[in-house]
């Protein structure tokens, strides 16, 4: 059902665009971020740009160094074309308040919005937080019923995955969101690992990802490594993951499409991500992960 008064949505974050599309609002998205890649909004005006080099074209260690230098110097990592944003006359602007490194922080644009525009901050750091984000977007865009229907579908997926796993032994899982230096998966990732029958090492559910080192990683004694470098597609993760497996040579390594499955907290990511993790961790009771999403490296 379309909203009674169609919104004009400007999305400054890929997860915002993906959520809008999931709620049937793709045709009302008038502007997107430079990282948005949802086919439903292809060709829309691009509102943001990045001030740091992109991986994997740039070595991971160099990307990390550039981010650290910019933060220490107080330089913004992202810029928003406010003139273009104003020209699009949005009624809803989707931003985020979770990770300053990942996308434009909502506070950077909060006091500069065009007249009549409502800022909706995506704040999910857990699967429950995704439900809250869906409600906020649904309310702001006039599709509250669609948002609740999506929440019920996501809960059904979680229950289905947990039901398959049942009382199977939980594995010790190392989720790597970056390889050089190693960052451990945080925010909603530990929640997803827990739902799929594992224990996420070194980071608790809801906590942000943390910089670590290989000594600490080895001391955690993982039983499986899931390499999910932020913003990488599967092929890119496979290429880099193969250079890292020697760090933990006696542990199975899986490379995954992080962009699709884990870098964003969206309905599609949670659905595909949970099924992928369940297939990796519990192949005895769950279907194997899709070859489009995951590849065993060792």
Percent of the chain predicted with pLDDT > 90: 82
CATH code of the domain in which 93 resides? 3.40.50
pLDDT for the residue 63: 74
Query: How far is Cα 175 from Cα 39, in angstroms, rounded to an integer?
Result: 28
State which residues form the domain around 59: 9-123
Domain end: 123, 152, 179, which one? 123
- Tens digit of each residue's pLDDT (9 = 90 or more) over 202-240: 999 989 999 999 999 999 999 999 999 998 999 999 999
Kindly report, residue by residue over 180-209, the tens digit of the pLDDT. 999 999 999 999 999 999 999 999 998 999
Using CA atoms, how far residue 259 sits from 66, 100, 122, 235, 248, in Å, is 21, 17, 17, 11, 24
Asked whether residue 140 is assigned to any structural domain, the reply reads: no
- 279 and 191 inside one domain: yes
Which pLDDT score is estimated for 53? 66
Q: Rounded CA gap, 159 and 165, in Å? A: 10
- Position 97 scores a pLDDT of 84
Q: Is residue 62 in a domain?
A: yes
- Examine residue 27 and state whether it is found in any structural domain, yes or no: yes
Residue 151 lies in a domain: no
Residues 172, 65 share a domain: no
Single out the residue in 123, 154, 185 at which a domain terminates. Answer: 123
CATH of the domain at 172: 3.40.50.1980
Question: For residue 71, is it within any domain?
Answer: yes
Per-residue three-class SS string for 70-88: HHHHCCCCEEECHHHHHHC
Same domain for 249 and 181:
yes
276 and 171 in one domain?
yes
Q: Which residues of the chain have pLDDT under 50?
A: none
Q: Is residue 59 part of a domain?
A: yes
Q: Does 155 fall in a domain?
A: no
Rg (CA), the chain: 19
Residue 104 contacts residue 85 (beta carbons within 8 Å) = no
**Residue 24 shares a structural domain with residue 117:** yes
Boundary residue ending a domain (57, 91, 123): 123
- Residues 271-280 have pLDDT tens digits of 999 999 999 9
Instruction: Say if 24 falls within a structural domain.
Output: yes
Q: Are residues 32 and 107 in the same domain?
A: yes
Q: Are 17 and 94 in contact (CB under 8 A)?
A: yes
Tell me: do 98 and 171 sit in the same domain.
no
Same domain for 263 and 176: yes
Count of the separate structural domains present in the chain: 2
Q: 174 and 116 in one domain?
A: no
């Amino acid at each position: 059902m379309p909203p009674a008064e169609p919104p004009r949505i400007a999305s400054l974050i890929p997860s915002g665009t993906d959520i809008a599309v999931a709620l049937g609002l793709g045709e009302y998205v008038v502007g997107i971020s430079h990282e948005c890649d949802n086919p439903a909004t292809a060709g829309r005006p691009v509102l943001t740009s990045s001030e740091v080099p992109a991986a994997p074209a740039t070595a991971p260690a160099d990307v990390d160094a550039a981010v650290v230098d910019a933060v220490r110097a107080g330089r913004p990592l992202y810029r928003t074309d406010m003139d273009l944003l104003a020209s699009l006359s949005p009624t809803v602007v989707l931003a985020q308040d979770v990770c300053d490194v990942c996308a434009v922080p909502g506070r950077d644009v909060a006091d500069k919005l065009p007249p009549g525009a409502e800022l909706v901050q995506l704040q999910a750091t857990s699967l429950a937080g995704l439900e809250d984000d869906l409600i906020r977007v649904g309310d702001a865009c006039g599709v509250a019923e669609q948002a609740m229907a999506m929440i019920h579908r996501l809960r059904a997926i979680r229950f289905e995955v947990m039901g398959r796993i049942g009382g199977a032994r939980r594995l010790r899982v190392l989720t790597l969101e970056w390889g050089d230096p190693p960052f451990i998966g945080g925010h909603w990732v530990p929640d997803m690992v827990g739902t799929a029958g594992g224990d996420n090492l070194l980071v608790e559910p809801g906590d942000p990802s943390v910089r670590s080192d290989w000594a600490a990683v080895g001391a955690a004694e993982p039983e499986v490594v899931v390499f999910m470098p932020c913003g990488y597609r599967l092929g890119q993760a496979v290429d880099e993951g193969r250079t890292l497996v020697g760090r933990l040579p006696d542990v199975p390594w899986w490379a995954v499409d992080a962009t699709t499955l884990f870098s964003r907290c969206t309905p599609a990511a949670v659905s595909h991500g949970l099924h992928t993790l369940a297939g990796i961790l519990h192949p005895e009771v769950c279907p194997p992960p899709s070859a489009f999403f995951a590849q065993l490296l060792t």
